[in-house]
Amino acid sequence: WISDGLPGAINDTAAARHHRIPDLAAQAGILLLADAGYHHITEDVLTPYKGRTHLPQHYLQANTEHSRIRCRGERGFATLKNWAILHRARCSTHRVTTLTKAILTLEQTR
């Protein structure tokens, strides 16, 4: 699923709230895992424990498992970022959304 683009410099958390992603996922019973940038977006979004030093071993293990689960989604984002057409796109957000959906379609048919 790819949401419609938003105009201007909207950060990921604001975009997720605008599209009501946490609320809709909770209603559908879908568990969301996100990176530390989404910490406290809602209680239903699981983020890794913050801090790299002085964390208990079980927190470090939980962060490792969290990363292991999220790696497929991160790989998908990396694939999108490798498409040259999206580099420095100077067009409307609607057109970028259309391009991104086309790329997703092409990637899924490989």
Residue 51's pLDDT is 83
Residue-wise pLDDT tens digits, 10-31: 888 898 999 999 999 999 999 9
For residue 84, pLDDT over 70 is answered with yes
Residue 69's pLDDT is 93
The predicted model gives 54-81 an average pLDDT of 89
Choose from 4-18, 35-49, 57-71 the range with maximum mean pLDDT.
Answer: 57-71
* Mean confidence (pLDDT) of the chain: 86
Q: CA 67, CA 29: separation in Å to the nearest integer?
A: 21
Token output for 83? 């498409």
Could you state, in order of their start, the residue ranges of all structural domains in the chain? 12-83
For residue 45, the cross-strand partners are: 32
